[in-house]
Amino acid sequence: MSLRTLQSTGDLTGKTVLVRSDFNVPFSNAVIADDGRIRASLPTLEYLIRAGAAVIVMSHLGRPDGVVDSTWSLEPVARRLGELLTVPVHFARDTVGPDADARRRALVPGEVLVLENLRFDARETSAAESDRLEFATQLTTGVDLLVSDGFGVVHRKHASVYDAARIVPSSAGLLVATETDILHRLTTDAARPYTVVLGGSKVSDKLGVIEHLLPRIDRLLIGGGMVFTFLAAQGHRVGASLCEVDRLDTVRGYLETAQKLGVGVILPTDIVVANTFAADADVTVTSSDAMEDTPYGASGVGLDIGPDTSRRFADLIRSSRTVFWNGPMGVFEMAAFAAGTRAVATALTEMDGLGVVGGGDSAAAVRAFGFPDSSFGHISTGGGASLEFLEGKSLPGLEVLGW
C-alpha cells in the first residue's frame, strides 16, 4: 500500500508527461465560478515544468456523455491555467484527433498543452474495457509517463484514470499523493481526540462513512439535513424537516454501535426552525426535542443547528487533535441558515492539529465565508472520491498506482 510518487520517477528532462487533472470546475454564466481545482493542480504541473518535461494535461468537464458540446469545452480552463502558470499554455480542440496530434508534436519541454474535454469521447467512461483501452492507448501514444493527479476521479474506472495508467509507466501526482496521505491518516493513526462532523442533506450518502469510521473515532457530531433522521430515530417529531424514514432502523443501529464502542454521538440540542424553506422565511429557535411546539407546528422545517449547539460543536472541534468535517450544518446558501456552518468552519480554523474539510458543498461554504484554503489543515478536492476512501472502499485509480 504505497503509491508510486513523482519523486521516484527518475530524470524527466525532455520527457513527454501526460497528466490527468481534475478541472471539473463550476461555471456561472460561462465564467469559472471557483478555480480551486485548477489551482490545486499547479504544484504538480510546476514540478514537471521545472523538471524539464513537456506537459500534456487532460481532464473532463461536466457530463457531455460522449458528445462534442462547446458548452463543456475546456478552453476557458486552459486560458485560466495560462494566467496561473508562467509558461506558455496551448489548447488542443480535440483529445486524440488531428489538432491534438499536431500540437503534441509542436510541444517543447517547459510548455503545457491542455487537451479538450475527455468526455466528448464516449470511450472515456465506457463500461467496455476494450473501448477504454483503445482510447487510453491513443491518449498515451508518445507519452513517457502518466501522472494521475485528478483526485476527484480516482474512484472511477475511466480510460484516462485507470486504463492509461496500466499502459505506460505511471505515478501519482502531488495532489493525489497528499489527498491519499491525509485520508489514510483519517482511517488509521489519527491523533486523539478524533472528531467527525457530518451534515449535508442526505444521511443515505454518508452511511458508509459512519459505518467505517465509527470504530476509529472518539466522537461524531451530526447536523445538517441528515440530523433529523437521527432525531426521529430517537423518537422526536421533526415537522417538515428532511427525514429518511427508510433509514431509521439503520440509524438506530449506529446509535447502539456507538454506545458499545464508547463513541459519543452528539446531536443538536437546539434547531433553527423556519415556517417554510425560503431565504426570507419566519424563523425561531427551538429545543430539538420540541420541534413541532412552535407557531409553525408540524409544518416547521429545521434549516440550521441552533446557537447553543453551534457553541458546543465549536468547543468539541477546538478540543480535538483530528477533525474530519463533511456536509454543511444548515442551508448555508441562505444567510439566515448559515450560522451553524460558519461556527463549525471557524472552529476548524482555530483548532490545533489536523482539520480536514471534505465535500464539494462544505468546501464551497468555507470559501464563500471568505476563509483562505490555507486556514485549514486540508480541503479535499474530491467529494465522492474522499467519501469512498473513508468508506474503506478500494479506488481503481489509486490501486493502479500501487496503493
Task: Please give the positions annotated as active site.
Answer: 37, 202, 360, 384
Residue count at the site for ligand ADP (CB under 6 A)? 20
Q: Which residue has the cell 471557524?
A: 346
Closer residue to ligand ADP (CB): 173 or 239: 239
Region from 36-44, 132-140, 198-206, 308-316 binding ligand ADP, contact rule CB under 6 A: 198-206
When the beta carbons of 101 and 205 are compared against Mg ion, the nearer one is 205
Q: How many residues does the chain have?
A: 403
**Is 22 near Mg ion (CB under 5 A)?**
no
Is residue 152 within the footprint of Mg ion (CB under 5 A)?
no
SS (H, E, C) the chain: CCCCEHHHCCCCCCCEEEEECCCCCCEECCEECCCHHHHHHHHHHHHHHHCCCEEEEECCCCCCCCCCCHHHCCHHHHHHHHHHCCCCEEECCCCCCHHHHHHHHHCCCCCEEECCCHHHCHHHHCCCHHHHHHHHHHHCCCCCEEEECCHHHCCCCCHHHHHHHHHCCEEECHHHHHHHHHHHHHHCCCCCCEEEEECCCCHHHCHHHHHHHHHHCCEEEECCCCHHHHHHHCCCCCCCCCCCHHHHHHHHHHHHHHHHHCCEEECCCEEEEECCCCCCCCEEEEECCCCCCCCCHHHCEEEEECHHHHHHHHHHHHCCCEEEEECCCCCCCCHHHCHHHHHHHHHHHHCCCEEEEECHHHHHHHHHCCCCHHHCCEECCCHHHHHHHHCCCCCHHHHCCCC
- Only one of the segments 23-31, 98-106, 155-163, 199-207 lies at the binding site for ligand ADP (rule: CB under 6 A); that segment is 199-207
Closest CA to 76 of 55, 94, 91: 91
The answer to whether residue 213 forms part of the interface with ligand ADP (CB under 6 A) is no
Residue 282 CB, nearest approach to Mg ion (Å): 27
**CB of residue 196 to ligand ADP, shortest distance in Å:** 13
The residue within the footprint of ligand ADP, chosen from 99, 205, 289, 292 (CB under 6 A), is 205
Q: Which of 144, 333, 391, 399 binds ligand ADP (CB under 6 A)?
A: 333
When CB distances are held under 5 to 8 angstroms depending on the partner's kind, the choice from Mg ion, ligand ADP, none that residue 328 binds is ligand ADP
Interface residue with ligand ADP, options 152, 173, 306, 327 (CB under 6 A): 327
Q: Does 331 bind ligand ADP (CB under 6 A)?
A: yes
Total binding residues toward Mg ion, as defined by CB under 5 A: 2
Does 361 engage in binding with Mg ion (CB under 5 A)? yes
Is 76 or 383 the residue whose CB approaches ligand ADP more closely? 383
CB of 261 to Mg ion, least distance (A): 28
Pick the closer one to Mg ion by CB: 330 or 360.
Answer: 360
Binding window for ligand ADP (CB under 6 A); candidates: 38-46, 77-85, 86-94, 354-362: 354-362
Which member of 150, 152, 268, 328 binds ligand ADP (CB under 6 A)?
328
Could you list the residues that contact Mg ion (CB under 5 A)?
A: 360-361
Could you list the residues that contact ligand ADP (CB under 6 A)?
A: 199-201, 205, 224-225, 242, 302-303, 326-328, 330-331, 333, 359-362, 383
